[in-house]
Chain A
Amino acid sequence: MKALLIGESKQGKIEDSTYELVGFAKQFGMESAMFIVAKNDSQIAYDGKVYLADSDKYKEYNPDAHKKLIEEAINKENPDYIIFSHSSYGWDMAFRVAADLKVAPISEVVDYKDGTFVVPCCNSKFRREVKPKTDKAVLTLQGGAFNPVAEGTPQIETLDIGDVEPSVEFIDYEVQEKTGVDLTKAEIIVSVGRGVGKKENIEFEKELAETLGGELGASRPVVDSEWLDQSHQVGTTGQTVAPKLYVACGISGAIQHLAGMKKSGFVVAINKDKDAPIGEVADVFVVADVNEFVPILTKKLKSA
């Protein structure tokens, strides 16, 4: 099996997820080559061929040109699998390539066995097996599912396809300023999910966090609903945390949330749904109504 790995570079830096693609290919014994749009002098820790297109010319985000460049690399390599990260770049690019080539698109791969891919579904409540019906397939790999491999020196071949008329034009990056709590150093985090029901109920988790001497975290819907500010968000689009104790209150455990907290030392989940996927990472799963259970727990901790 031969893989073409589609690396990513953002703000002049090679994304760590690129090396997870390399790890995937290595883990399953696939031959590989890489494609990336990046700065000409980028340091890429990869032992193989890299088709590099200059990001000064083609921009880090320019889907029309990137698609053409990727298709050029596919023509040269004739890979079985064209592999992207399941990321903002992958979502925009991968399946347009699949549509062009009419080859099987498979998203969010978390495992692979004998030509069959495993992907999550229903907010990660289930796993599903998918097999391509075409010779080639376009895949996106779930972040964190495969161990990164970053070693070696690449043989670089520069790709240039002239100018491409863009339908989508990059204007600028907007960096959201970081204010509020820094959860990355917290030893204890009590995180609030949509399951608490309403903003007022967060008082219970606040009190538990104070009692334990920890910080307050949150899942994304809690932040989107403005119950807590963005600095509390844990997950792929929030902070990545690794406390000694993580208490997930009314959080289902979607992959994007788990990605931000699965390195926690000890995980307690409080959820009324026993099948909630947070069970995949929970050391203790308390089947209960958070709004009933948390105040009782806090009271007992206080008097202990």
Chain B
Amino acid sequence: MKILVCVKQVPDMESKFKIDSSSKWYDQSDLVYKINEYDEYAAEEAVRLKEKVSGSELTVLSIGPERVKDVIRKVLAMGADKGIHILDNEEHLKDPFQKASAVAEYAKSENFDIIFTGLQSQDRGSAQLAPLLAGMLNYSFVSTVVAFENKDGYVEVARELEGGLRAKVKVKLPAVVACQLGLNTPRYPTLPNIMKAKRKELKTVNIDELLKAEPLVETGKVYFPERKAGGIVLEGKADEMADELIKILKEKTQVVK
């Protein structure tokens, strides 16, 4: 089987964010980056599939500046065979349609049987790249996948629906599969595998070679939402804040007396 997994590098969401000078995105300096949470599940599932089906080859792809090679190497250390880095210093200004079309352009001659992605990226959070990619490649598509099983010539997955309901679904290949949190337990790469990953193939392609699509949306400004009107912020010593909080709870709620 030929397998592809798309992973994005995103800032740790607990970082102190600032808005950049264009006011169109966050300031990308001084942030700690890691693999998009959803993509870690996608990568784990892709590695498991590759290990199960002998003769498979797993490629890991990421679009972004030089630093995104870190997440490619992480997935190589988890067990992927080779990496493809689509170098784009302005990834954050591309819309999902453009990114999907760049991946499609790369993937169309590779004939992947299955492409794993995350359900959404934690920073942009559009949940669009995968369905757009499936549409462009004319592949089957399923999202919110919380269980995955490879059958003979097709895959069977569970989709998570709302309110504790799941749907079992049979998916024809080739397919794009968008993975939801909790799908599996992603492995930690071992030290020997991290060392081995350094010798695996990691090719860089410039975005200009793959990007033909124009954006379909225009991004305006990014801003912090407002806090709850009248909300109180307590800062300082834990001891004093606890006293203050108890006082407020006694005044404002009927449940603490």
Q: Are A122 and B125 in contact (CB under 8 A)?
A: yes
Q: Within the complex, what minimum Cβ distance (angstroms) separates A268 from chain B?
A: 7
The complex places the Cα of A283 from the Cα of B226 at a distance, in Å, of 13
Q: Are B17 and A128 in contact (CB under 8 A)?
A: no
Contact (A124, B161) CB under 8 Å given A61-B169, A168-B170, A286-B245: no
Give the contacting residue for B234; candidates A174, A285, A300; CB below 8 A.
A285
Query: B181: which A residues are within 8 A, CB to CB?
Result: 220-221, 224
Q: Within the complex, what minimum Cβ distance (angstroms) separates B245 from chain A?
A: 6
The complex places the Cα of A172 from the Cα of B134 at a distance, in Å, of 23
A163 proximal to B (CB < 8 A)? no
Tell me the chain A residues, 289-304 only, with Cβ under 8 Å from chain B: 289, 292-293, 296-297, 300-301, 304
Query: A124: which B residues are within 8 A, CB to CB?
Result: 225
B interface, over-half SS: mixed
Q: Are B241 and A129 in contact (CB under 8 A)?
A: no
Tell me the chain B residues, 15-56 only, with Cβ under 8 Å from chain A: 16-17, 19, 26
Count chain B CB atoms within 10 A of each CB in A266, A284, A297 and give the residue with the most.
A284
Interface residue stretch chosen among B60-68, B73-81, B198-206, B210-218:
B210-218
Give the contacting residue for A300; candidates B16, B144, B160, B246; CB below 8 A.
B246
B252 proximal to A (CB < 8 A)? yes
Query: A106: which B residues are within 8 A, CB to CB?
Result: 217
Q: Are A167 and B242 in contact (CB under 8 A)?
A: no
Q: Are A301 and B246 in contact (CB under 8 A)?
A: yes
Give the contacting residue for A168; candidates B122, B140, B160, B215; CB below 8 A.
B140
Query: A230: which B residues are within 8 A, CB to CB?
Result: 164
Q: Are A297 and B156 in contact (CB under 8 A)?
A: no
Q: Are B141 and A96 in contact (CB under 8 A)?
A: yes
Q: Are B161 and A10 in contact (CB under 8 A)?
A: yes
B208 proximal to A (CB < 8 A)? no
Contact (A88, B160) CB under 8 Å given A126-B26, A133-B215, A288-B241: yes
Q: Are A129 and B220 in contact (CB under 8 A)?
A: yes
Q: Are B219 and A279 in contact (CB under 8 A)?
A: no
Give the contacting residue for B143; candidates A92, A171, A283; CB below 8 A.
A92
Tell me the chain A residues, 105-147 only, with Cβ under 8 Å from chain B: 105-108, 116, 119-134
Task: Indicate the size class of the contact surface on chain A.
Answer: 35 or more
Query: A167: which B residues are within 8 A, CB to CB?
Result: 140, 171-172, 175
Q: Are B238 and A288 in contact (CB under 8 A)?
A: yes
Contact string, B173-204, partner A, CB cutoff 8 A, digits 1/0? 00100100110000000000000000000000
Give the contacting residue for B253; candidates A244, A279, A289, A296; CB below 8 A.
A244
Give the contacting residue for A304; candidates B140, B162, B170, B246; CB below 8 A.
B246
Tell me the chain B residues, 134-148 only, with Cβ under 8 Å from chain A: 134-136, 140-144
Q: Are B164 and A297 in contact (CB under 8 A)?
A: no
Q: Are A174 and B158 in contact (CB under 8 A)?
A: yes
Give the contacting residue for B166; candidates A119, A174, A252; CB below 8 A.
A174
Q: Are B167 and A178 in contact (CB under 8 A)?
A: no
A50 proximal to B (CB < 8 A)? no
A273 proximal to B (CB < 8 A)? yes
Q: Are B126 and A173 in contact (CB under 8 A)?
A: no
Q: Are A125 and B224 in contact (CB under 8 A)?
A: yes
Shortest Cβ distance from B135 into A: residue: A99
Contact (A87, B162) CB under 8 Å given A245-B256, A296-B239: yes
Please list the residues of chain B having a beta carbon within 8 angstroms of any beta carbon in chain A: 11, 13-14, 16-17, 19, 26, 96-97, 100, 119, 122-128, 131-132, 134-136, 140-144, 156, 158-172, 175, 178, 181-182, 214-228, 230-235, 238-239, 241-243, 245-246, 248-249, 252-256
Seed contacts A61-B169, A130-B218, A223-B182; 14 additional CB < 8 Å A-B pairs: A88-B143, A89-B161, A96-B141, A99-B100, A102-B216, A108-B125, A125-B13, A132-B217, A167-B171, A169-B171, A230-B164, A279-B233, A288-B238, A296-B238
Please list the residues of chain A having a beta carbon within 8 angstroms of any beta carbon in chain B: 10-11, 15, 61, 63, 87-89, 91-92, 94-96, 98-100, 102-108, 116, 119-134, 167-176, 178, 187-188, 212-213, 220-221, 223-224, 230, 236-238, 244-245, 252, 265-268, 273-275, 277, 279-289, 292-293, 296-297, 300-301, 304
21 contacts between A and B (CB under 8 A): A11-B165, A88-B160, A95-B127, A95-B135, A99-B135, A103-B216, A105-B132, A106-B217, A107-B128, A116-B220, A120-B225, A122-B13, A130-B217, A133-B216, A237-B162, A238-B164, A275-B17, A280-B228, A283-B228, A300-B242, A300-B246
